Amino acid sequence: MNDNSTPVTVIGLGLMGQALATAFLRAGHPTTVWNRTPAKADRLVEQGARAASSVAEALAAGSITILCLTDYPAVHELLAANETVLSGTTLLNLTSGDSAQARTTARWAEQRGAHYLDGAIMAIPQAIGTADAVILHSGDRSDFDAHSATLAALGTVSYLGADHGLASLYDVAGLTMVWSVLNAWLHGTAMLRTAGVDAAAFAPFAQQIATGVATWLPGYAEQIDRGSYPAEVSALETDARAMAHMVQESRALGVNAELPELIKAMADRAIAAGHGGEQYPVLIEEFAKPGH
């Protein structure tokens, strides 16, 4: 049944929901859609989608129903108003949220007889339907396996595990990476602009650094998983001296020094705890604690 004749439903037709429904239509799936503001279904109906007149009708139409709303409170509001018709449905919630919300929603839906998968979209709407759109899933393996061929119409789908919170956890971990890298680049750009250097001149150099650092990750991950951090490349106390230059330079140039100050403060705490002779990933011990 999991070929392109599998009927699917998409609930929530914002920018992302429209992209998801479009990808299903392009792959040939009979696609039913529902949105709180009905006009957002019009373009999809022109492309061949069927607009359901109620959430209950939409839920009954698809062998899997994708939910893509603003946030989890919106998902709860919508599902709670339809809880009597959830039994036997398969829900894939691609709404962004945190892992606790995912686990709570999974329990709630399963208590009402639904099969519930949680997911996270690591892509922009324009990438949906291409291999560049990475979509993460967590929940019961058999629920994922039953629909993975259908879901492949959306992009590169992967299964993380039975814990419904995993997709959201990976999502926020990925977002931390994205915004940390961007903030580091913006900080460097602000420093260089004081010397008249354009953002465009720094960008290729910054790209090379980001790519180079990325190659360190597998080796550093091995150290973290072993819990042993021999200073094979550089000791943390050596790194901390370079961090001091970064802080001093930022202050002297009159640019925002909060990011370098945070980087140095965390390294200083690890050094004070006796880790100065170890390698950078020993900082995981600081990141694993609650913040100050």
Residues at the interface with ligand FVH (CB under 6 A): 12-17, 35-37, 40, 68-71, 74, 77-78, 95-96, 121, 124-125
* b/e code 195-224 from CB counts within 10 Å (16+ = b): eeeeeeebeeebeeeeeeeeeeeeebeebb
Tell the smallest beta-carbon distance from residue 190 to ligand FVH (Å): 26
Tell the smallest beta-carbon distance from residue 125 to ligand FVH (Å): 5
Tell the smallest beta-carbon distance from residue 45 to ligand FVH (Å): 15
Instruction: Tell whether the torsion through CA atoms of 240, 243, 249 and 254 is positive or negative.
Output: negative
Tell the smallest beta-carbon distance from residue 254 to ligand FVH (Å): 35
CA atoms of 182 and 30, how far apart (whole Å): 40
Query: In terms of CB distance, is 39 or 272 closer to ligand FVH?
Result: 39
Tell the smallest beta-carbon distance from residue 64 to ligand FVH (Å): 17
Query: In terms of CB distance, is 70 or 194 closer to ligand FVH?
Result: 70
Tell the smallest beta-carbon distance from residue 272 to ligand FVH (Å): 39
Number of residue whose CB is nearest ligand FVH = 14
Query: In terms of CB distance, is 135 or 282 closer to ligand FVH?
Result: 135
- The total number of residues shown for the chain amounts to 292
Tell the smallest beta-carbon distance from residue 119 to ligand FVH (Å): 10
Query: In terms of CB distance, is 7 or 125 closer to ligand FVH?
Result: 125
Query: In terms of CB distance, is 95 or 223 closer to ligand FVH?
Result: 95
Query: In terms of CB distance, is 7 or 38 closer to ligand FVH?
Result: 38
Query: In terms of CB distance, is 13 or 153 closer to ligand FVH?
Result: 13
